[in-house]
Amino acid sequence: MKPALRWMALVLLAFVALQLFFLGRIALMTAIDPESTTFQRSEAWRIAQERDRLRWRQQWVPYPQISDNLKRAVIASEDDGFVNHDGVDWDALERAWERNEKAIAQANRRAQLAPSRARPPKIVGGSTITQQLAKNLLLSGERSLLRKGQELVLTMLLEQTLSKERILEIYLNNVEWGEGVFGAEAAAQHYFRKPASRLTAYEAARLAVMLPQPKRFEKMPGSKYLAGRTATIAARMRAAELP
């Protein structure tokens, strides 16, 4: 029993040490802007390997210099309860779980009827802006229950340590908006040739709609889905509450 208890104690100690490390990183972000995220570093490596050169656009801009249109559009599109929840929208997670179960069941039925035409189910997420930031900022892209659990812990640490305004500021300055395009300023310049502070409501809504699949929509600027969804988000923006 003693060796087993010793190993359990070491694992627990390592877990606590890791959380303290993450807490220290997050605490620094109250005053220091993060230079990069884990996701950005992995993307930089991938792009450099595939293209033999690094195409990269990113420029940090303070929260007041980001158009309120973009803040409202992103909240309306990605997390309409952002200012009110504690980092996790449990209702959204439950709805996503139910939709995914139905999608998987339908995909299995189609596979049984026509195996040659079977397609993987479309899985949707219920992640909040804070959860997305936790994942991209400090975690790898692997999908596992262990990583999801760590994401939830980091989400709570972010919410307890940083203000909602700071969380949104870091998110908007680091989120991906295309191949090697990160942050609101880079996205505004890349797609509209203007600073992030001058984005119109329609332009902001269009950028917000791109977020789930930015590299795909970068290559499909004429997408009917993109145009239709943009109009929907533009109509919702007035109801979006800012921190």
Per-position pLDDT tens, the chain of length 243: 577 777 888 878 888 888 888 889 999 999 999 988 999 988 888 888 887 777 888 999 999 999 999 999 999 999 999 999 988 877 766 665 566 555 555 555 665 665 555 454 444 456 899 999 999 998 876 777 777 888 889 999 999 999 999 999 999 999 999 999 999 999 999 999 999 999 999 999 999 999 989 999 999 888 899 999 999 999 999 999 999
Residue type, 184: A
Pairing type for strands 176-178 and 181-182 reads antiparallel
Backbone angles phi, psi at 181, to 5 degrees: -115, 115
Distance CA 100, CA 120 (A): 11
pLDDT for 99 equals 63
Q: How far is CA 81 from CA 31, 38, 90, 127, 158, in A?
A: 26, 26, 11, 11, 16
Distance CA 193, CA 186 (A): 9
The alpha-helical segments, DSSP class H, found in 64-120 are 68-78, 90-113
Domain ranges of the chain: 38-78+163-243, 89-126
The reported pTM is 0.85
Query: What is the dotted CATH code of the domain comprising 38-78+163-243?
Result: 1.10.3810.10
